[in-house]
Structure 1
C-alpha cells in the first residue's frame, strides 16, 4: 500500500483559524436545541455533529453545511408536548 499526500486548499495544513468563542457557543446551543427538536436517534446524531464541529470539524467543512444546519435548528421553536396527546 502506498500513502500519498494530497495537496489541497489553504487550511488543510493545520493553519485553519479557530472558531471564535461566540460561534462555538452558538454551535453548542444548536446541538442542545436539536435534541429537544428531534428526540431519539436523529436528535442525538445532530447533537454529536454540531458538538464535533464546534470542537474541531470546522477545519474540514468546505461547503459550510454545519453552520447552515445550526442556523436552521436555532430558527425552529420547540413546541411543548400537549398533555392530552397520547404518549405525553
Structure 2
C-alpha cells in the first residue's frame, strides 16, 4: 500500500496541470489498474482478517459469530466485486 501511495504521489507531483483528462489517462493504464486491484485485495484481506479475529474474540455464541463472519465476508466480497467493476470500467 505504501508503494501505491508513492506511485500516486509521484504522479501528482510530476503533473503540472491536474485535469480530468490527466486523471482518466493515468487510471486507464493497465499498470495502474493492476496496482489498484492489488491494493484493493490487500485492504480487503486485511479487513477480513481483522474482523474475523474481532468476531472470534468478542462474540461467544457460535451462531452469532458465524453469522457475523458470513455477513462480513459477504460485504467484503461485494466491495471486491464493485471495486473491480469500477477499476476496470475506466
Q: Shorter-chain-normalised TM-score: which range?
A: 0.3 to 0.5
What is the TM-score with the length of structure 2 in the denominator? 0.36
Q: Higher helix share goes to which structure?
A: 2
What is the TM-score with the length of structure 1 in the denominator? 0.36
